[in-house]
Structure 1
Amino acid sequence: MYLNCHSWYSLRYGTFDIERLVELAKLNKIECLTLTDINNSTGSWEFVEKCEKAGIKPLVGIEFRRDGKLLYIGIAKNNEGFRELNEFLTTYNLSKNELPDQPADFLNAYIIYPLGSRDECLLKENEYIGIRATELNKLFGKPLERLRNKLLVLHPVTFENKQGRFLHAHLRAIDFNTLFSKLQKEDVALENEFMVPNEELQQQFRSYLFILENTQRLIDSCELNFNFKESKNKKLFTENAWQDQELLRKYAYDGMIYRYGNNSPDAKKRIEKELAIINSQGFAAYFLITHDMISYTRNKGFYHVGRGSGANSIVAYCMQITDVDPLDLDLYFERFLNPKRSVPPDFDIDYSWDQRDAVHEYLFNKYGKDHTALLGTVSTFQRSAAIRELSKVYGLPKEEIDEFADFPHKVWDRNELTRKIKRLSESMMNMPNQRSIHAGGVLIAEKSLTYYTALDLPPKGLPTVQWDMYAAETINFEKYDILSQRGIGHIKEAVDIIQQNRGVSIDIHNVPKLKNDARVKQQLKSGDSIGCFYVESPAMRGLLKKLHCDDYLTLVAASSIIRPGVAKSGMMRQYIQRYHQPDKIEYLHPVMKEQLEETFGVMVYQEDVLKVCHHYAGLDLADADVLRRAMSGKYRSKAEFERIVQRFFEGSKELDRPDDVTQEVWRQVESFAGYSFSKAHSASYAVESFQSLYLKTYYPKEFMVAVINNFGGFYRTWVYVHEAKKAGCVILNPCVNESERFTCIKGADVYLGFIHISNLESKYAELIPQEREKHGPYLNLEDFITRTQITLEQILLLIRLNALRFTRKTKKELLWEVYNYLGHQKAHKDEPRLFNPPAKNYQLPVLEHSMLEDAFDEMELLGFPVTMDHFDLLQTNYRGHVFTRDLINHVGKKVKMLGNFVAYKPVKTVKKEMMYFGTFFDVKGDFFDTTHFPGSTPEMPFKGGGCYLILGKVVEEFGFPSLEVEKFAKLPTVKDPRY
């Protein structure tokens, strides 16, 4: 009899998850239950699955609301009805139009209107009126002939009890962005919207048995068949499965010649093994669609990286989906695809940040918007956000909200209101707050996607399914992860710039050549990797130096052990020690030596977790994979996870493993698994790092320009400009006759792009080089103003950066002239002239100018000085007692250093105190690192950019020196002489 149940997917309305809704139905002996969340079908598949397990007949539908007002409820008669409801909602979501007062003519879905909202004479065959028990008195004395067959029991379920309604009311206040005290009665669900036993509900309608009969008749007429086992992806790439398999075979063997040459028995054997599994699992089309996408983008000149567990496949390697050689790294294909794998695998394909939209456009156009969509995600309330939202509905001032959200333990026992907010925030933890877009997932379905979900149109502008990756796995969708990454932009643009600036063509996909290049390996070992993807952060550069890393395999391992879990467990330090002293390793257990000898007894990769769980505790690989996924937050069933944890300890005991050893093995597994990479994933990152390192080693100028232009990396733009200068570039301010929108290089001269100028409108950043390209260089100030129609405010920015220096006039002369020429009026573009009148010349007095003024203008408009160095702006001439390159000779001594601040990382100690790791470079341009322990320096020692005087003790670890700071102060700079 329950035709209108809300779960917490009725965002900021429903109060419990689907699992609890089904539990309540079972407790109340409900035989049939209907999920009708508001304007979405997010939870439908999860609901059907849980109902079937509980022995309850599931019905699904959608409650349609406009501006919070109930319009009507749709209930699917069958799967086609579910599609009709999803399609109806999708039409309005994608068009951004409001839902209509009356729905479409559904052939396979019922519509229920609230009492009083629709004239019963106008009801269609599939339309009904829902009546609550509290509304039955409205039927008294009313002729019921017309209504007799059109009335249904309507008892909405929104919360579990009074506390649930209290929470619901607060969710409504958050949704309406209003004070709790101003919430209107009609904005909140009625007090009785909780579940009661079926007998009690029927008792309420005992005087109107025909309403109960109508309701039961509707329920009996509905039947859903949700097939969870069948793959929902596009099944074929060609016309039939045989053609798909043959085409896949052809691509694999054609690619084998490129990767391995004609004669590689190992490669052939591995290809045949993989093809057999791919074809038996029905994955040929998935590989072919991915290959087709990559072929298209390669023809367009795009650059990509294939990573994740898909890099375990030699077929993917041969098809150039990935650049990781699984034979070289002994990667096993079963990590990606095997008959026992419980969830579908996927390829992670990274493109440059500015190319992903074009990839999406290709996929949506090729496979159709009915069959293609972005994967959704559901963001949830976490403690801080819940506290902030609840505090707002009670009207707390911003200062108190910030204190409460940032330091809840300090605040929440302050008074009754804070205690109430605490209780409510705990109830809201992990409750869905809004639907959004998955980082990269794309779905390509065989049938129309509305068979499975309604679609949203987020700001991204592409149809997006209403559920997340977990639901996709449950439904049996294999997603295509199309991701964007700045590091790829660095590589692609560097290759293009090298071609333009030097006429050199580089095959950046020739990975074996890059990995074995002696100069590149030395560059890696030196830790000089600023700008190089994944190996440029201070922590990674330090790790590379500690490992003396100069080879691909060690970099693969480093890419995984840098992850938080390994460092937290103490295994990163242990790995470094064992790496340098392999003969002194004491293995925890013989199994650990047998399985982890390659990584010196330390779990480095996700595969290591699987191997340890399988060989040490006797878990089968399927259970071990569930354990790994659960620890990385990719598996939802808590009960299943706990069963496997128990099985780990039971299995260890059965195999007579010592209890203390088992506890330590489990500690390492637990602390490591959630943050680890698969070996193939780490290898993909290592490949990309080698590609960046190769470009930085041989073409440092062009490479750093590409890094600057892609605005991505661990550091801010000025750090990369500094690196470009170190590489031999002559850094020049923007010039209207030389610069482009982005930074460009001409020989060794690097002209900063207009895009870097603070407050310069983007239209001028694009127009200035476009106009110059069309009609030639600008001749003088008047010519520039006339041709660009630039305003006074905007040209002042250019003059202050000396961007019109081609006129051979000083900045102050140009400022004088531009005010005379433009005043405060916007320039108007004249009609095309036959002749340009000569520029007017003014006789001006001698105007004073200094480089210091230029530096202050540059810092204001670019964010960093160009004509002077940061150190030259200090009031003191002191430059430090020692420099970075001498640190190793002062280990154990106290030294004074002067450093230009680059970055810092805050870390909480086990005692909840703050400590920091800092990065600076000295006056010679070399980087050094600092450690700021609690109590030794101010609580927040860093006071923004600038130069700092640092007193500290030099310490060394595995040949890598750093500074433990004792005293620390930011140094004053000279003043702008104009003020």
Structure 2
Amino acid sequence: MYLNCHTYYSLRFGTLSEAELLNLARENQLEQLALTDINNTSAGLNFVRKAQEFGIKPILGIDFRNGVDQYFVGLAKNNEGYQELNNFLSLQLHDQKKITIPAPAFKNAFVIYPFNKVTQDQIATFKKNEFIGVSLKDLRKLPFSNLKELKDKLVVQQPVSFRDKRDFNAHRLLRAIDNNILLSKLPKSEEADPEEKMLPLADLNSAFSEFDFILKNTKRLLDSCNIYFDFSEDRKPQNLNTYLGDTSSDEALLEKLCHEGLAERYQHRAVDDVILGRLQKELDLIKKMGFVSYFLINWDIISHARSQGFFYVGRGSGANSIVAYILRITDVDPIELDLYFERFINLYRVNPPDFDIDFSWKDREAMTRYIFDRFPNVSLLGTYVTFQEKGVIRELGKVFGLPKEEIDQLCSGKYQTSQLDEIGRLVLKYGALIKGMPNYLSIHAGGILITEKPVHYFSATHLPPKGYPTTHFDMVIAEDVGLYKFDILSQRGLAKIEETLRIIEYNQPGKRDSIDIHDIAKFKSDPIINELVKTAQCMGCFYVESPAMRMLLKKLKVDNYLGLVAASSIIRPGVAKSGMMREYILRHRDTKRAEERAHPVMLSIMPETYGVMVYQEDVIKVAHYFAGLSLGEADVLRRGMSGKFRSRDEFQKVKDKFVDNCLKKGYDDKLIFEIWDQVASFAGYAFAKGHSASYAVESYQTLFLKAYFPIEYMVAVLNNGGGFYSAEFYIHEARMLGATIHSPCINKSFMGNYLYGKKLYLGYMYLRELEERVVEQLLKERKTNGEYTSLTNFLDRVSISIEQLSILIRIDAFKFTGINKHELLWQAHLSLSKSPTLDHPKLFPAKHKNFKIPHLYATNLETAFTQLELMGFTLCSPFELLAKPPENNNGKKDLEANLDKNIDIYGYLVTVKNTRTHKGTRMNFATLVDQFGEVFDTVLFPPIAAQYFFRGKGIYRFYGKVVSEFGFLSIEVIKMQKEDYIPDPRYADLKTSSLKQQFPKK
């Protein structure tokens, strides 16, 4: 009898999850229940899915409101009615329209107007599907209203938003957060009625006993509503069914594409029975599972990308597929890598394989637009941003009016609960209640749905700033109902490859034509590239540049593609967390250890990885062969290891069966739970082997560019946001690779960095205070009328303020004039101080006075500090800025000679990783550059980390022991101190002669 119920997807209003609402209905003896969230359909599909578990008939609708002001409730008679409601809500959300009365003329949906919204004029035009809702509160008014005469139009409308007083208090806090006001200032008009609760059915019937016809009307209305979505295990995919319009044409096209592409893809080896057998096996299964259109749509997407010259990488579990390889969706050959077929597809797997297609961050928007234009029924996939612990404490702290210091203390967790005042305890109490509730709708990182039925059959859509319709539900419920996403992602690594090729084209004319960046087979066998991998000289290269990866490559002595594939997955958090990274390294370096330590079954199913789970498909192998689960159950286990699936009942059942089966096989408890812990700790974080192989392909492409076009590649890295490190260290790397670095120049520089031969001119983007419009004007004028000849010429052509001009002068952008920057600053002030700044260049050159300027000079030290101020880094060695020069010349070159001995060494901080031991104590790993530009690594174990702290950028002096772990050298720090820089000479009272002596004029 409840046709107006809310979950917490009535954002910043409701307080119940779908399951809590259904449980409440069961407790109150209800047989059917309508979910009508406020301007939202996020919970709809999951509400239908979960309702059968509670023995309740689900009904779907929408509560249409402007803010908290209810205008009407729409209830779907059937799925078509739900689509009508979604169409209408989506239109309002996309166009940001207000809800108005009367409601649209829905064909398959009922409309219930709240009692206090119905007017005399409206009654005269009431439609057959329109009703008037009467709440318990309205019953007091009904006898005195002429609406009581409309007996066949009155229904029970008792809204449900809370269970109890605590829920109502949480609701008030959510409303205050939504309105960004103190709780004490929250107007009653912004709150729901405290009585929006669910009564037992008998109590509701009793309350309406004098108006029995209202109860009958309500039951009749609810009985006539039926909604159905298929959540069964054998449900059919709801994606676009066919690519060409019919199944047979699709299958014929897929066969044709595969047989045409076979020879091209396997031009380096004979097409044998293994390849043909694998291809036929895949094609048969793809057809049987109904995934043909899914493959063809992905093929269409990458074909368009290729026609536009866009770079892309196909990865995900689909990278285990030979069909995907032949169609060029991926560049990973499953035959070469012996990729596990059942990770890609099996008869028990309902969902199609994942294809994550990465495009350059510059090309992704064009590809998204193509997909929306090319296919019918397209939307982005939604996701929910939830209230997290610290965030909700901050929000509640503001709502309760706590000062910032107290909010910070609560967020830090450094308090005794007994010492908190009443407000502080309330913040924690309700923070725990609100934590995890959805806060607002957002967009999945890359998921796009292409559906057979209109998207609004399943959900309303909203229109985020990206400008594409986006569903109200997330990927988990999408998969439950048979909607499988296409992942269109972006990354900067591909843009770096594209830009490197463009730089080569203009910087080394003729070389570009000889480069086939897709000739991965050639790169894999290139000794120069493999040497870079072996020596971990990978700064800037995709996925292999971090200190942790550099360390792993050296420990594993990786010097080939297959080794890099393994390393790409071993580095993932799960393998390390399970303790198996170290075990893998030990077994890799001593294969006898694998025979001694690995369980025979584990070694037999994963011989390539020495019986250690490294790849995501290893979960399926272990579950199937070690624990005796079916392939379908094993796939549930794999999916259950991440995100929301972990809490699903079906996952818990599979986990229990895993343990039971192992016990029946006679494995001892220690072994069972040791294996289970490994599975549980890493499966959600590991890569599928095909995924790792795809990453390794891109790594090899970037390694090729770094090996043969190192400076061009580093410029592309810098121009595309860098990577693991800051821009300063990529500039340093370019210098180490032979580039000459120049500060920004008004005649040579652009917004990004630009290369002339081996001369790298930094871009204006590093000048943080320089306005973009000044750069645009400067570049436009230079392109139109040629280079600037002097400061005076520049001022005649570019409108600029003295503040902006001084930035350019101080950074040496006018160095080509040969005039000292101090003299240029004087000249600039004298030229601009009496002239108003114009928004356009002067039409005619002004007559210039010859000012007499005193002879001035600048030192290298002043220049360095100016660069530090304007760009955040210097172009000289930071060691030149030390107040006290280094007392020794030790560097990375001296580590091997001092193995197992203590060393005194200076290093400029590159990056530091703070981590915790299993006991929760802090320790640090730091990477630094020595006096000679070489990189070395240090570790501060907990006792030392408790004594010494890294205090930002700068040079540190270390005293510690040189150690080797599997051939990787690092320093276990014993003592550490940060070295002081010389006082800034631009402000310090230093003698000119002293400055001249230390840093003579250039």
TM-score of the pair, normalised by structure 1 = 0.96
- Determine if the alignment matches structure 1 residue 926 to structure 2 residue 934: yes
How far residue 255 of structure 1 moved from its aligned partner, in angstroms, is 2.4
- Identify if the C-alpha distance between structure 1 residues 164 and 487 changes in structure 2 by more than 3 Å, giving closer, same or farther: same
- Determine if the alignment matches structure 1 residue 162 to structure 2 residue 165: yes
1:7 alignment partner in structure 2:
7
Partner SS for 2:303: helix
2:956 alignment partner in structure 1:
948
Q: How does 1:811-850 map to 2 (within 5 A)?
A: 811-823=821-833, 825-830=836-841, 841-850=850-859
Q: Does the aligned pair in 2 maintain the 1:120–1:147 contact within 8 Å? A: no
Partner SS for 2:189: helix
**In 1, distance between residues paired with 2:453 and 2:918?**
53
**In 2, distance between residues paired with 1:194 and 1:856?**
67
Partner SS for 1:133: coil
Alignment counterpart, residue 228 of structure 2, candidates 221, 225, 228 = 225
Q: Which moved more, 1:711-720 or 1:559-568?
A: 559-568
**In 1, distance between residues paired with 2:574 and 2:219?**
55
Q: How does 1:16-95 map to 2 (within 5 A)?
A: 16-95=16-95
Alignment counterpart, residue 557 of structure 1, candidates 542, 548, 566 = 566
Partner SS for 1:677: coil
String of CA shifts for 1:419-470, please: whole Å, max 9, x gaps. 3333322222322121111111111122221111111112222221111111
Partner SS for 2:261: helix
How far residue 482 of structure 1 moved from its aligned partner, in angstroms, is 0.8
Q: How does 1:538-557 map to 2 (within 5 A)?
A: 538-557=547-566
- Determine if the alignment matches structure 1 residue 684 to structure 2 residue 694: yes
**In 1, distance between residues paired with 2:758 and 2:631?**
56
Q: How does 1:311-350 map to 2 (within 5 A)?
A: 311-350=319-358
**In 2, distance between residues paired with 1:96 and 1:779?**
54
- Identify if the C-alpha distance between structure 1 residues 8 and 142 changes in structure 2 by more than 3 Å, giving closer, same or farther: closer
Residue type of the alignment partner of 2:985: P
How far residue 725 of structure 1 moved from its aligned partner, in angstroms, is 0.4
- Identify if the C-alpha distance between structure 1 residues 465 and 501 changes in structure 2 by more than 3 Å, giving closer, same or farther: same
1:401 alignment partner in structure 2:
407
Residue type of the alignment partner of 2:753: T
How far residue 564 of structure 1 moved from its aligned partner, in angstroms, is 1.6
Alignment counterpart, residue 696 of structure 1, candidates 696, 706, 716 = 706
Partner SS for 2:632: helix
String of CA shifts for 1:727-774, please: whole Å, max 9, x gaps. 101111111111122111111011111122112122233333333222
How far residue 701 of structure 1 moved from its aligned partner, in angstroms, is 0.5
1:914 alignment partner in structure 2:
922
**In 1, distance between residues paired with 2:157 and 2:148?**
20
**In 2, distance between residues paired with 1:113 and 1:870?**
72
**In 2, distance between residues paired with 1:451 and 1:391?**
41
How far residue 615 of structure 1 moved from its aligned partner, in angstroms, is 1.3
- Determine if the alignment matches structure 1 residue 863 to structure 2 residue 866: no
Partner SS for 2:612: coil
Residue type of the alignment partner of 1:6: H
1:802 alignment partner in structure 2:
812
Q: Does the aligned pair in 1 maintain the 2:555–2:966 contact within 8 Å? A: yes
**In 1, distance between residues paired with 2:78 and 2:714?**
59
2:626 alignment partner in structure 1:
616
Alignment counterpart, residue 958 of structure 1, candidates 956, 966, 980 = 966
2:131 alignment partner in structure 1:
128
Q: Does the aligned pair in 1 maintain the 2:162–2:196 contact within 8 Å? A: yes
- Identify if the C-alpha distance between structure 1 residues 840 and 533 changes in structure 2 by more than 3 Å, giving closer, same or farther: farther
2:316 alignment partner in structure 1:
308
- Determine if the alignment matches structure 1 residue 286 to structure 2 residue 294: yes
1:479 alignment partner in structure 2:
485
**In 2, distance between residues paired with 1:928 and 1:544?**
15
2:427 alignment partner in structure 1:
421
**In 2, distance between residues paired with 1:255 and 1:706?**
33
Residue type of the alignment partner of 1:355: D
- Determine if the alignment matches structure 1 residue 885 to structure 2 residue 893: yes
- Identify if the C-alpha distance between structure 1 residues 740 and 142 changes in structure 2 by more than 3 Å, giving closer, same or farther: closer
String of CA shifts for 1:358-407, please: whole Å, max 9, x gaps. 11111112225xx1111110122222222222222221111111121121
Q: Does the aligned pair in 2 maintain the 1:31–1:57 contact within 8 Å? A: yes
- Identify if the C-alpha distance between structure 1 residues 876 and 408 changes in structure 2 by more than 3 Å, giving closer, same or farther: closer
How far residue 64 of structure 1 moved from its aligned partner, in angstroms, is 1.6
1:531 alignment partner in structure 2:
540
- Identify if the C-alpha distance between structure 1 residues 408 and 279 changes in structure 2 by more than 3 Å, giving closer, same or farther: farther
Partner SS for 2:713: helix
> Which stretches in structure 2 are left out of the alignment for 5+ residues?
988-1002
Partner SS for 2:895: helix
Residue type of the alignment partner of 2:866: D
How far residue 322 of structure 1 moved from its aligned partner, in angstroms, is 0.9
1:508 alignment partner in structure 2:
517
Residue type of the alignment partner of 2:511: V
- Identify if the C-alpha distance between structure 1 residues 63 and 659 changes in structure 2 by more than 3 Å, giving closer, same or farther: same
Partner SS for 1:954: strand
Q: Which moved more, 1:857-866 or 1:908-917?
A: 908-917
Partner SS for 1:306: strand
**In 2, distance between residues paired with 1:909 and 1:864?**
33
1:452 alignment partner in structure 2:
458
How far residue 945 of structure 1 moved from its aligned partner, in angstroms, is 0.7
**In 2, distance between residues paired with 1:927 and 1:99?**
63
- Identify if the C-alpha distance between structure 1 residues 485 and 413 changes in structure 2 by more than 3 Å, giving closer, same or farther: farther
Q: Does the aligned pair in 2 maintain the 1:412–1:422 contact within 8 Å? A: no
How far residue 778 of structure 1 moved from its aligned partner, in angstroms, is 2.1
Partner SS for 1:116: helix
Q: Which moved more, 1:510-519 or 1:338-347?
A: 338-347
Partner SS for 1:956: strand
Alignment counterpart, residue 729 of structure 1, candidates 733, 739, 746 = 739
1:575 alignment partner in structure 2:
584
* Aligned-residue RMSD, C-alpha: 2.0
Q: How does 1:236-255 map to 2 (within 5 A)?
A: 236-255=242-261
Identity value in percent: 46
1:491 alignment partner in structure 2:
497
1:705 alignment partner in structure 2:
715
**In 1, distance between residues paired with 2:888 and 2:197?**
72
Residue type of the alignment partner of 1:869: S
2:200 alignment partner in structure 1:
197
Q: Which moved more, 1:137-146 or 1:309-318?
A: 137-146
Matched residues, number: 974
How far residue 915 of structure 1 moved from its aligned partner, in angstroms, is 1.1
- Determine if the alignment matches structure 1 residue 651 to structure 2 residue 666: no
Residue type of the alignment partner of 1:441: G
**In 1, distance between residues paired with 2:452 and 2:798?**
52
- Identify if the C-alpha distance between structure 1 residues 954 and 109 changes in structure 2 by more than 3 Å, giving closer, same or farther: same
Partner SS for 1:97: coil
String of CA shifts for 1:199-236, please: whole Å, max 9, x gaps. 22111111111211221222133222324423221222
**In 2, distance between residues paired with 1:144 and 1:350?**
60
**In 2, distance between residues paired with 1:168 and 1:141?**
32
Q: Does the aligned pair in 2 maintain the 1:879–1:897 contact within 8 Å? A: no
**In 2, distance between residues paired with 1:917 and 1:248?**
51
**In 2, distance between residues paired with 1:820 and 1:891?**
62
**In 2, distance between residues paired with 1:807 and 1:237?**
64
Q: Which moved more, 1:762-771 or 1:151-160?
A: 762-771
- Determine if the alignment matches structure 1 residue 900 to structure 2 residue 908: yes
**In 2, distance between residues paired with 1:791 and 1:252?**
63
**In 2, distance between residues paired with 1:499 and 1:323?**
25
**In 1, distance between residues paired with 2:171 and 2:351?**
35
Partner SS for 1:207: helix
**In 2, distance between residues paired with 1:142 and 1:704?**
78
How far residue 939 of structure 1 moved from its aligned partner, in angstroms, is 5.4
**In 2, distance between residues paired with 1:910 and 1:535?**
26
1:518 alignment partner in structure 2:
527
TM-score of the pair, normalised by structure 2 = 0.94
- Identify if the C-alpha distance between structure 1 residues 874 and 36 changes in structure 2 by more than 3 Å, giving closer, same or farther: same
**In 1, distance between residues paired with 2:936 and 2:800?**
44
1:299 alignment partner in structure 2:
307
How far residue 10 of structure 1 moved from its aligned partner, in angstroms, is 1.1
**In 2, distance between residues paired with 1:245 and 1:604?**
35
Q: Does the aligned pair in 1 maintain the 2:132–2:154 contact within 8 Å? A: yes
**In 1, distance between residues paired with 2:353 and 2:163?**
38
**In 2, distance between residues paired with 1:315 and 1:636?**
31
How far residue 132 of structure 1 moved from its aligned partner, in angstroms, is 0.8
**In 2, distance between residues paired with 1:418 and 1:820?**
60
